[in-house]
Amino acid sequence: MEFKDIATVSGKPGLYKILKPSRSGVILESLDDKKGKLVVGAAQRVSLLSEISIYTLTEEGASPLKEVMIKIEKEFKGDTGLEGAEKEEYQAFMKHILPEFDEDRVYASDVKKLISWYHIIRKECPEVLEEKPETASKNSKEEKDEDTDKGEE
């Protein structure tokens, strides 16, 4: 499974795997032990996790959710320690993971939902949280390019 195959439905808890489109919408399967199926029509709002970002104060204005979740996995390996946490603890956690996040537009409830989704993904499809080799090789290529540029100065 890939990040683009996971969705959230407005007004419903949890995450869903996209199975296939139907005439009236899309067929989803819950990412939990029940594996319940659900047909979602055009009237309900379905968001792909690959299209969700977290507001930042950077020039781009947002950081993709996938990158944030990969950072959480690298740092915490599933143990975020935020069960039953206070608002300030969620904000501090977010500041630690993404220092440039926009505190005025990212609420504690958003961070709580992020942590909830992270735990669901880690349990049901942990391969999604692994950094892809092409991302790592792209980063190392950029570093080599930077080193080459420095050598030419």
By C-alpha distance, which of 9, 79, 104, 78 is closest to 47?
9
Question: What is the domain range of residue 95?
Answer: 53-130
Whole-model pTM above 0.85?
no
- Per-residue pLDDT band at 134 (split at 50, 70, 90): low
* pLDDT of residue 149 exceeding 80: no
Is the same domain home to 107 and 124? Answer: yes
pLDDT digits (tens, 9 = 90+) for 100-131: 999 999 998 999 999 999 999 999 988 888 87
Angle (CA) 145 136 55, round 5°: 95
pLDDT digits (tens, 9 = 90+) for 53-101: 999 999 999 999 999 999 999 988 878 877 777 888 888 989 999 999 9
Is the same domain home to 120 and 94? Answer: yes
Is the same domain home to 121 and 58? Answer: yes
